Amino acid sequence: MHKLGSALLIAAGMTLAPLGQALAAEDQHKIAVLIPGKHDDNGFMQAAYRGYEKIKAELDVNASYVSNISATSDPALLTEAMRKLAQEGPDLIIAHGGQCNGPAEIVSKEFPDIRFVVIQGHVQGPNLSSYVVRQEDSAWLAGALAGLTTRTDVVGHISGAWPQPGLIGRAAFYDGVKHVNPDAKFLTWFTGDLDNTDINAQAAAAEIGQGADVIYTMLNAGRQGVIDEIKSHDGKVRHIGNVSDWTQVDTSFVGSAVADASVAILNAARDFTTGQWQPDQITEIGLGQGDVVKLTLAEDVSPEIRQQLDELAAKLISGEIRINTSYEGPEFNPATGEFVPQSFKEELKAKS
């Protein structure tokens, strides 16, 4: 009898254990992360994947992600992907990148019971908020670095897409350049594709052909094309990266405008699980708030320039320096070697 009772208890335990696990899983918050580009691009999109990994490691939630939706940030594709994700019934959708602003505004209204967050977004609503890592802070310092280190007084910028954070980052970089080097010539271009190595390499070659010896890139997988082009010039051209610390990747980088968006993803998820998440809010993390936003420097940057940059960073933190986040100047078309008005890129958007 005793043995039979024990056997029954063991059998019951074997039956109840999976049931208990299933019930626990049902009690977990379901959080989905939408990554527009390739999650392993060594750039901004991979920061999203790192954020997803942090959620999985640090929070007791049921987390998932989708990626590789559109390298050109096609709003129709992003909207449809977000809508499909919402139909699966998560509690929270975290969409990565300002290119998700419009899609999130649309889909959040269609699914009022789901909470939405846009990372690097500027949108709000009854069930929608944005979490922003102020990349303009480190981009401004990157501009100052470029202005202080250029020997030709020609500085370049290359990005792939046109979300609001990218435009703000470009403007901040330009503002930093002009703050320390008012006479510097500025070459800026959006290629229309964050991942295409060939067209981004061609843009770099054209800017270098016009004298640029420092180029700031805001790219994803397409950055490798620029790296290869810059390295072909035997150290005469330097590179400034963004998002993560590219000075640890290749010696062609003189600096990197770090803005670790993975932290914003984890913060959004943690706030949601602890009941601190609020709709209709924009939450920012900027320079001076830990190591999330900072400018990293190559070992060969001189002590004098390091000191100047430290002083400028302190003035940004104190508010003595205010960043101009709009750029109204012309853009450099690498296909023709001519400057064009910013309205020209609307044609590229229509083609991409």
CATH number, residue 83: 3.40.50.2300
Residues 74 and 154 in one domain: no
Is 129 found in the same domain as 19? yes
Q: Are residues 203 and 125 in the same domain?
A: no
Would residue 104 count as lying in a domain? yes
Alpha-carbon torsion, ordered 223, 225, 226, 227, to 10 deg:
90
- Centre a 10 Å sphere on the Cβ of residue 14 and count the other Cβ atoms it contains: 9
Instruction: Give the other-Cβ count within 10 Å of 266's Cβ.
Output: 22
Of 237, 259, 257, 261, nearest to 297 (Cα)?
A: 257
Clarify whether residues 102 and 242 are in a common domain: no
Note whether 163 and 216 are same-domain residues.
yes
In a domain, 300, yes or no: yes
User: 33, 22, 43, 39: which is closest to 63 by C-alpha?
Assistant: 33
The answer on 129 and 75 residing in a single domain is: yes
Of 285, 300, 328, which closes a domain? 285
Residue 1 forms part of a structural domain: no
DSSP state for residue 73 in the 8-state scheme: -
Same domain, 196 and 241: yes
Does the residue 234 lie in any domain?
yes
CA separation for the pair 271, 289 (Å, rounded): 18
Give pLDDT, residue 71.
Answer: 79
Q: How far apart are CA 67 and CA 40, in angstroms?
A: 10
Query: Is 18 part of a structural domain of the chain?
Result: yes
* Spans of the chain below 70 pLDDT: 1-26, 348-352
In a domain, 54, yes or no: yes
Residues whose CB is less than 8 angstroms from the CB of residue 144 and which lie 6 or more positions away in sequence, other chains included: 176, 177, 179, 180, 308, 309, 312
> Residue 2: inside a domain, yes or no?
no
Question: What is d(CA 47, CA 66) in angstroms, rounded to the nearest whole number?
Answer: 14
Q: Where are the beta strands (DSSP E) in 75-168?
A: 92-96, 115-119, 128-133, 154-159
Nearest to 186 by CA among 165, 230, 155: 155
Q: What is the pLDDT of residue 161?
A: 86
Q: Identify the pLDDT of residue 216.
A: 99
Residues 142 and 130 grouped into a single domain: no
- My answer on whether 114 and 18 are in the same domain is yes
Whether residues 51 and 115 fall in one domain: yes
* Tokens found for residue 42: 């060594």
202 belongs to a structural domain = yes
Query: What local confidence, expressed as pLDDT, does residue 164 receive?
Result: 86
User: Do 106 and 157 reside in the same domain of the chain?
Assistant: no
- pLDDT given for residue 8 in this prediction: 38
Closest CA to 283 of 298, 268, 295: 268
If asked whether residues 267 and 315 sit together in one domain, one would say no
Distance, CA of 326 to CA of 346 (rounded, Å): 17
Domain ranges, residue 126: 7-134+262-285
Give the pTM: 0.83
Tally of domains within the chain: 2
